[in-house]
Amino acid sequence: MNLDSLLRTQIQKAVFAVFNQQIDNPQLQPTNKEFEGSHTLVCFPLAKISRKGPEETARLIGDHLVANSGIVSRYNVVKGFLNLVIGDTVWLEVFRSIHADKKFGERPSNGKEIMVEYSSPNTNKPLHLGHLRNNFLGWSVAEIYKSIGYNVHKVQIINDRGIHICKSMAAWKLFGNGATLQSSGLKGDKLVGKYYVEFDKVFKAQISELEQKGNSKETAEKEAPIMKLAVEMLQKWEQKDPETLSIWKMMNGWVYEGFSVTYHRMGVDFERLYYESKTYLLGKDEVLRGLDKGIFFKKEDGSVWVDLTADGLDQKVLLRSDGTSVYMTQDFGTAILRFRDFPKIEKQVYTVGNEQEYHFKVLFLILAKLGYSWAKECYHLSYGMVDLPTGKMKSREGTVVDADDLMQEMVEEAARQTKELGKIDEMTDSEFENLSEMIGMGALKFFLLKVDPKKRMLFDPAESIQLQGHTGPFIQYTYARIRSIIRKAETLNIQPAIQGITSMEPAEREVIFMIHYYMNKLEEAAREYSPAVVANYAFELAKEYNQFYQSIPIFNESDPAKLKFRVALSQVVADVLKKSMGLLGIRMPERM
């Protein structure tokens, strides 16, 4: 039973009956908590057709709905807002249809396809806290779209070539002494990241030395021996020099092995991997095609540029004077290749931090200039950076907040707090480890996803793992509490049922209202590309259920029909919490 659609239809009928006017889309919204009701009709726009004040318009519509709709039991008017109170029998019918629907919260396939890119790391350093937000965000958006009927393709572009990669390679060549995974004992991505940091230290020292000899900073940066070696290695790589390619393949292999371990613990997956090393040549071909067509131009030094000043931007280099590619070049190739691989996708979503907003404006604009009509279907899912109480991360200086370390610390903290609560006596070691993983990773994911993606955020590990408050563990604890109720009901042979109920307590009505809005929230989350909508919905539902649990007895209830109904209500809340948190990549514990 779709209550919102039914209510909209009845409002349209009421407006026609009272004012002899037809309206297409009544402005319905949830009622403000301080007023009675569940749905609010905004009547200010309707005053134009009623030719009466907003308040009188609201009263006339309200009177008609109470008398004729069979849905609205009473109403109240606050200025131009008509707050509608839905009758208990209607809410019970809504709940009955939800309880009977084994696939509630899942839309059937709509035949549409979408691609979501996330992670997209460089192969010169480990994943860090920012990558955690990126991966959790992109993966969750993909899962939300799947839940509303889309065929979703999860992909990433691995930035496995370029000057940044050659920096790690140059440092390994100079200072590695033939180090390998086996000889170092380090995780692969951390071993390569070590040389990236080493490069930066040496580079800065060499710049300082050259500046002391009278060179400008710009000249010093170009003439620093270690940078010259990195540039030389990049040129040799593009020329397919065997020795350079061998080092590149070896070090990238180390990184992929390390990334695989990190992704597994994150709980993210990908359908297709794209590699910059395999797409940049296609991008170069596009640049040359654009040059032939006069879309791009060449400067005296041989570099190729695009002039976007007429579009309110500036000039952008696409090929360097030495013929090597820039990021933009490979992004052309990647975008084109993806639409070739998946010609049915309606949108390509790039999950990338907001410091790259200009880059994507340029990318989409150039693709459109090259004649690709699908460029308008490319979307930059821009998100804010993650800060810690200690300040912003700086990966080149080796002060990055490592993703592996942070995940491990969260799980260890979850284990410590669980032990302090003294709830592990009946658990095996394996069960305790699994619970700690669920709570620690759940706390981390929820905290990073509950904030609107567009906002910069401060991640507080200590706050994120609290059992009380706006946290993942609070919702997990609520779920575990409900599962305990279900198990007790099964022991007492109490079957969930809705028969024999004609009225409800306000707290029960509020819970059903929250449940019925679940699909609306999924649609909103997809429309806004914001898992925060789902995260905050799950929190509000858990909070509403806890208020119900505290105020209304379940097993002390003497009326068998009410007892069965409350068990059924609890069961559905648990199912919706598990589904909504599952869309965030968060597992729910049976006991906690």
Tokens at 427, concatenated: 């658990």
Read off the pLDDT of residues 258-281 as tens digits, 9 standing for 90 and up. Answer: 999 999 999 999 999 999 888 888
Point out which residues pair with 457 in neighbouring strands: 386
User: pLDDT band at 1, cuts 50/70/90?
Assistant: confident
- So what's the pLDDT on residue 236? 94
Distance separating the N- and C-terminal Cα atoms of the chain: 35
Residue 141 pLDDT exceeds 70: yes
Given the structure tokens 């401060």, which residue do they identify? 458
Work out the percent of the chain whose per-residue pLDDT is above 70.
Answer: 98
- So what's the pLDDT on residue 238? 86
- So what's the pLDDT on residue 393? 40
Average pLDDT over residues 48-65: 96
Average pLDDT over residues 228-246: 95
Residue 396 pLDDT exceeds 60: no
Q: By the 8 A CB rule, do 359 and 431 touch?
A: no
- So what's the pLDDT on residue 565? 97
Task: Work out the number of other CB atoms within 10 angstroms of the CB of residue 50.
Answer: 18
Residue 3 pLDDT exceeds 70: yes
Residue 544 pLDDT exceeds 90: yes
Residue 397 pLDDT exceeds 80: no
Give percent helix, percent strand, percent coil of the chain, each to the nearest 5.
60, 10, 30
- So what's the pLDDT on residue 390? 65
Q: Report the distance separating Cα 460 and Cα 469, nearest Å.
A: 13
Average pLDDT over residues 88-113: 94
- So what's the pLDDT on residue 447? 96
Q: Report the distance separating Cα 70 and Cα 68, nearest Å.
A: 6
- So what's the pLDDT on residue 392? 46
Average pLDDT over residues 418-446: 90
Q: Which domains does the chain have, with CATH numbers?
A: 3-86 (3.30.1360.70), 163-264 (no CATH), 417-582 (1.10.730.10)
**536 or 402, which is more confident?**
536
Q: By the 8 A CB rule, do 563 and 557 touch?
A: yes
- So what's the pLDDT on residue 387? 84
- So what's the pLDDT on residue 33? 86
Task: Work out the number of other CB atoms within 10 angstroms of the CB of residue 462.
Answer: 8
- So what's the pLDDT on residue 329? 86
Tell me the residue length of the chain. Answer: 592
Q: Report the distance separating Cα 195 and Cα 124, nearest Å.
A: 8
- So what's the pLDDT on residue 320? 87
- So what's the pLDDT on residue 109? 96
User: pLDDT band at 300, cuts 50/70/90?
Assistant: very high
257-289 burial, b if ≥16 CB within 10 A, otherwise e? ebbeebbeebbbebeeebbbbbbbebbbebbee
Work out the percent of the chain whose per-residue pLDDT is above 90.
Answer: 86
Read off the pLDDT of residues 199-226 as tens digits, 9 standing for 90 and up. Answer: 999 999 999 999 999 999 999 999 999 9
User: pLDDT band at 388, cuts 50/70/90?
Assistant: confident
User: pLDDT band at 462, cuts 50/70/90?
Assistant: confident
Average pLDDT over residues 355-363: 94
Residue 81 pLDDT exceeds 50: yes
Q: Report the distance separating Cα 200 and Cα 277, nearest Å.
A: 24
Residue 346's nearest CA partner among 136, 584, 526 is 526
Residue 398 pLDDT exceeds 70: no
